[in-house]
Structure 1
């Protein structure tokens, strides 16, 4: 439910901070990692390994979401996924979320409640607790939300961007281009055809899904843009399987693979045939022109799948028993070449580099 369609009720200016917190806190379940829950000056979390992983992400109305596209609950859901994907990409397990809302006083309190419900629902999906946060006023028309996520490596070393080695392969866990395709459909003036049928991002034992109609394809792509998902457990699995580098795919395959390449001092060559077979496929090709499907697979942002490098003989790439889906090999790590871009496609330069927050 967008702000424009929020039911009548109090506005934020009608409530004290305590009143609003009283409406929000009941949504958030506290798990066993939480030693001191919300209510004090700070929460206290158990960190059995003695190390804490921390990350944060922010979303701004009009820049990161539009009320005519996304409900408050979907905004909350997406914000949680953005953050826990960063935790997963380090090979860690998320343990706590700190949520901030800064909004103008005329925002309906119901918007804040539904946003919190979306946060709570996605937090439950990832088995992580909301342990606190902050509320703040903002100028007219401004709504900004952010989450700081905390995680535990549970005794493992973090998986960094800088560990890729020549001879490794590059693999993706999850989808490519679905969220970007949904954004493209909205930007073209498309209307949401309705909730999609339940569909896993990548079935564990199956090839990429087939049998889409144009309507079902458009629906799942637009839904993927509003509510992307990630797999926390697969980040841990990749770490245990010896992933040499890993990232959350937030700004597109080319840009994020390039970040791994630069941090590691290597090049990455994407494999056209693998991408065409496994990702430039339904539902993308049922809803988009072929050239647009390719663009979204290579550069579409806000996917929040995981991309990692592994030794070429990694058993994880053969063992597809991960209940959240398989890792799909899409390229290889090569020697850096100053005469070529860090990321190539079959050895050739790629047009477009992915999402940039400050690009015009």
Structure 2
């Protein structure tokens, strides 16, 4: 019986994984040739790439292969949505030990397939290679469908700042895993294992005239700092406008009791990453759809302030000694 991907071989592994990815109208030629062919009806292609490294972005004792597949696709599709585009296709670089069970690779592919299905995309191709640990390199493509891309440099003084999606839950989930793998709070743990970006909100925000937008992957304050820098403005946030979910408050109480953190729930909403919410700026007076929450304004100046003062909320930095 072929129980590991080493037993199966490279081409057997590719066949097992690609069999799970459906054909879509966006992909003219999918896996099996030297390169894929993807439609570009808008004549512009939005592209992004991201990596997940075992032990840095996920741990197999915390997350199952389906969770990791969902997460790998989600964090890339969130970037496509943040540009105001519709995700169309993924390219997958899959590096893994030869002793990895075939079932793990198949379940991972199922997670990718299921997340792709949420947006109507598919895996168009990729590569496999042997390595000492699992590393995933994902490239996502998207279609702007005739609208202007929403960049980071368009915010203007007078705009409102709004967010949609979860904030702080993934950070709480990570802290729970690090503190005690047996403690409850499944909502926060699930948010860390398998984020749920508000994909449809990105293109809808572009249609509404959003002036700047991004995916909150490294922390709300830190990421809004990118908009502030690119747009040469100051972003002024009001922490009281952030709606703290009860599940986050409950998790923070547990974490405080365990001595794992010393902060308020809103602090995780300001600094925690990997929920993949969307943050955007809109012209004043824009009527926002349900789900968006206005949390501040854009003003002349620079940087990000919270409740009138510079914030010490620090987000994720891969090369920081404290991350």
Settle same-fold status: TM greater than 0.5: yes
Question: Which residue is 1:220 aligned to?
Answer: 187
Whether 1:81 and 2:42 are equivalent positions in the alignment is no
Residue 169 (structure 1) aligned with residue 130 (structure 2): no
Q: Aligned-pair RMSD on alpha carbons?
A: 1.4
The alignment partner of 2:153 has SS state of: helix
Taking the aligned partners of 1:167 and 1:294, their CA distance within structure 2 comes to 25
Go from structure 1 to structure 2 and tell me whether the alpha carbon gap of 1:137 and 1:68 turns closer, same or farther (over 3 Å shift). Answer: same
Unaligned runs of 5+ in 2: 257-262
Q: Secondary structure at the match of 1:27?
A: coil
Alignment of 1:253 with 2:220, yes or no, is yes
Q: Any conservation in 1 of the 2:27–2:37 contact (CA below 8 Å)?
A: yes
1: CA distance between counterparts of 2:113 and 2:186?
24
In the alignment, the residues of structure 2 paired with residue 306 and residue 192 of structure 1 have an alpha-carbon distance, to the nearest angstrom, of 29
2:136 paired with 1:145? yes
TM-score after normalising by structure 1: 0.84
Question: Which residue of 2 is the match for residue 212 of structure 1?
Answer: none
Confirm or deny: 8 A CA contact 1:77 1:121 kept in the other structure: yes
- Cα deviations across residues 147-192 of structure 1 (Å, max 9, x unaligned)? 1000111111110000000011110011111111111111111426
Which blocks of at least 5 consecutive residues in structure 1 are unaligned? 1-7, 194-217, 321-325
* Residue deviations 1:279-304 (CA, integer Å, cap 9, x gap): x2311112213824122111001011
**CA–CA separation in structure 2 for the residues paired with 1:66 and 1:295:** 25
Classify the secondary structure of the residue corresponding to 1:232.
Answer: coil
Structure-1 residue corresponding to 2:4: 11
> What TM-score, normalized to structure 2?
0.93
Residue correspondence of structure 1 range 1-360 to structure 2 within 5 A: 10-138=3-131, 140=132, 142-191=133-182, 193=184, 218-275=185-242, 278=243, 280-289=244-253, 291-315=263-287, 317=288, 319-320=289-290, 326-337=291-302, 342-360=303-321
Distance 2:87 2:307 in 1: 37
How far does residue 25 in structure 1 lie from its aligned partner after superposition? 1.5
Please state whether the residue corresponding to 1:288 is helix, strand or coil. helix
- Structure 2 contact 239–266 (Cα < 8 Å) conserved: no
Q: Secondary structure at the match of 1:162?
A: coil
Aligned length: 313
CA contact (8 A) 1:10 1:109 kept: yes
Contact 1:178 1:284 in 2 (8 A): yes
Instruction: Write out per-residue CA displacement over residues 211-260 of structure 1, whole angstroms, 9 at most, x where no aligned residue.
Output: xxxxxxx1101101100011221100000000000000100101100011
